[in-house]
A and B are shown apart, each in its own frame.
Chain A
């Protein structure tokens, strides 16, 4: 504590001859230093830098994984006439990352009110687009999920996820201010509409994620334990209903339960995942990955398993877990109800998606069209994720000195006594 003022006075006390050089050093020291009062520096010190570091780690892992998986997909998509370059998806992903990271950083710089406003407007826009999908949407692989033209083709469902989480959090947080508002019914209606629109595409995976986000937020917002149990039973009932009345789900769950035979994607995924042993075959040396359907998206975890080994898979799972634990622990001394709910929703979306994707790869869950956040290739999903994590970073930003525990303030006493 004592040497900080000493440092600040150094340039003044120096003789004139050596003034230029120390001044420069002082500026460098102060750039993003604790004494820097520029908005950028304040943002930097308020940001959860550990969380940002973990996210960037995932992005880096994702680039390597897409580079490994890209040849498997391009080989399948190449025809006699058209040969797709093996690293096509890697270069595309690199492009998405280059676009996405600035988006994430800019979103994370927004003040909380502006971030909330952005999310609510985004949610409204995405829901409108979602309504337009059945009318103008494009059909890929038998599912009508896309809307737009050429490079501006997007999946509204992907973008809706983070915006939905923040919007519902805002809705639920209103309850505290005015208990008379029917926020729970409103959120149920909103979620129901989205679920119906998604099931029409059909997109069971996204529906489950939305329901999961809603359920996590309802839980944290203080729904009674009895209601939570009821919703849980309802969820299981819904899945059973889907199995019996929703053909896509019937097919997927059947092949998961009873095995789809020797050449089923479940079997291929298992062969790839275990094909590399603990340490993997080495980058580019995998062969089982070439049998995988959607190696660069849904089954990228299996590609990682083959080329980088099961230990790498465990490490990736731990990175996801670390992100979730980091965010939740930070929420434990957060007082703002809206922020708690919004961050819970965003994390539930991120963590749930990662869990389901890994569980599908590990045959713990019937196969879903679900990407592994930041690792799988994806345009819409990558941008939506960067947006969502930008919101997460914005909401977890806090002045490191504001909420400092009063236990810490006792320490300088000793120093003062010593002086």
Chain B
């Protein structure tokens, strides 16, 4: 009985048990579906973050590897512009706890260049404002020590020019939104900000050591001659690479101020000048090329000024005699140059000037390029004045590119601020015959060794060049006392590698220049100093036993006996 009872109970139990287990399995599947649903929601949310909100690795983290804006370096990899994580100081007035007057007094003590009243106005305004867009860690520390929770210190990308004002006109600067607004920052804006390109720095053609030497020599000359400004450029004649380009006074792209805005004009590429006698070698070269001058010994009348159509052309330092071609350049005779240009004819003269690129903006990456002032009518008189550099205004960069063509064998190339790999220089176009170029090297060297450019000579560097002292136009005429003194040179003259242009805007005669304002006394000595400093950096070894052979031309220079 008991056994039967036990047995029946067991059967009953097991039946119930089966029921319970089956129900449990059904509920388990429901629970599993609930979990599946919940995890689908989680995965869906993650996917929506990835797709709909377009989650990207944040800028701050990618800056560790790739800067927000690419670096700019010089040809040797020296950093000229970098992007760093800087501090800004920002105030959220609604969150300020302390007394605003006290706070503005404390801030004014930390930043003496802003008044207490200005700070108070900022602190009492409604909206969050920047107190400083860029702040030094030290300043941040001091402000932080004020203990105000309404002031925060966001880290922001900051464009830093570690060489300060060096090459400021080449580099330019960026605006608050990080867009390049001047110089190479503007010209290269696209590639500097493009994600795929900005990891590798943009390499400029300039050499920061050469740039520094050029800037320092121009600056000391500008100060000693009390000039309004100065400009200079050093150009590789074979590739068109700009090794240095300086426009003075300078500004600091790290700290743009109202009072330095006018210095932001790039005098080398933006401002146009009548460059005067530096044009004479072009006229002579064109005449040699065209065959209108075949014999350098032929003499031209320089006894008295030429009068053409009511216009008088005269020499500043009249020799009062007939001059041959070498003497014309050595003594910088306007009269003879005008006669040679007249013989050449205006078509051929204009053709040469156009082929040298003087009729368009200079060729360089920068956006700041000035348009030359081209004569309205190219008549006979214009032709004769342009021969000695009046009646046409071009930028110093135009002149540098043209001088490169003059001495490098006759090939004109556009200038570039980007480093050119060997063998990849621009095609260029022939302007002068190679023979003419060789002759011009001798003539330019003679101007420095025994002419108006003597003060440019640096022993062993075989410098050749031409002075140019142009009177500045004013009130419809020319002002005799305000000059633009230019010296256009190349070195080493036996195998020219670099062209160097130095220019002073309105130099004053001082004791140092024997009270002379002309280029031979003001601009030429800068070339001497700069070349002595930068020659070895540029791979030009001073050698007093080498020079271009001018022995066939030396006898043509007449010198008084005694």
Contacts and interface: CB of A to CB of B under 8 A. Distances in A.
Nearest to A310: B50
Given A222-B27, A285-B64, A310-B49, 13 more contacts: A221-B20, A275-B61, A276-B55, A278-B55, A281-B61, A287-B60, A288-B58, A288-B60, A324-B35, A341-B24, A351-B35, A362-B46, A362-B49
B61 A286 contact: yes
Contacts, number: 120
A324 B13 CA distance: 31
A331 interface: yes
Interface in B20-60: 20-21, 23-25, 27-32, 35-36, 38-39, 41-43, 45-47, 49-50, 53, 55-58, 60
Main secondary structure of the interface of B (DSSP, over half): helix
Interface stretch (A133-141, A143-151, A314-322): A314-322
A220 B61 contact: no
Contacts of A318: 39, 43
Contact of A340 (B28, B36, B39): B28
Contacts of B64: 285
B17 interface: yes
B30 A219 contact: yes
Interface of A: 176-177, 216, 219-222, 271, 273-281, 285-288, 306, 310-311, 313-314, 317-318, 320-321, 324-325, 328-329, 331-332, 335, 337, 340-341, 344, 348, 351, 355, 358-359, 362, 364
Contact of A275 (B24, B39, B50, B57): B57
B380 interface: no
Given A310-B49, A314-B46, A219 B31 contact: yes
Contact of B35 (A276, A321, A337, A364): A321
B349 to A, nearest CB: 64
B546 interface: no
Contact of A355 (B24, B39, B57): B39
Contacts of A287: 58, 60-61
B42 A359 contact: yes
Contacts of A314: 43, 46-47
Contacts of A221: 20, 24
A401 B24 CA distance: 24
B446 to A, nearest CB: 65
B40 to A, nearest CB: 9
A329 B33 CA distance: 12
Given A275-B57, A277-B55, A332 B38 contact: no
Interface residues of B, number: 35
15 contacts: A219-B31, A222-B24, A281-B58, A287-B58, A287-B60, A288-B60, A318-B39, A325-B32, A332-B25, A332-B28, A335-B17, A340-B21, A348-B31, A359-B41, A364-B45
B144 interface: no
Nearest to A335: B21
Contact of A277 (B32, B36, B46, B56): B56
List 6 A-B pairs, minimum CB-CB distance, nearest first. A274-B55, A281-B61, A275-B58, A321-B39, A310-B50, A328-B32
A324 B50 CA distance: 25
A313 B43 CA distance: 8
Contacts of A222: 20, 23-24, 27
B429 interface: no
Contacts of B39: 317-318, 320-321, 355
A9 to B, nearest CB: 44
Interface of B: 13, 16-17, 20-21, 23-25, 27-32, 35-36, 38-39, 41-43, 45-47, 49-50, 53, 55-58, 60-62, 64
Nearest to B55: A274
Nearest to B58: A275
Contacts of B28: 220, 328, 331-332, 340, 344
A412 to B, nearest CB: 30
A357 B28 CA distance: 23
Contacts of B42: 317, 355, 358-359, 362, 364
A309 to B, nearest CB: 8
A324 B32 contact: yes
Contact of A220 (B31, B36, B62): B31
Contacts of A331: 25, 28
A313 B47 CA distance: 10
A344 B34 CA distance: 13
B96 to A, nearest CB: 16
Contacts of B56: 277
B308 to A, nearest CB: 75
Contact of B24 (A280, A340, A351): A340
Given A317-B46, A328-B32, A310 B55 contact: yes
B45 A219 contact: no
Most buried by B among A277, A311, A325, A337: A277
Contacts of B57: 275-277, 279-281
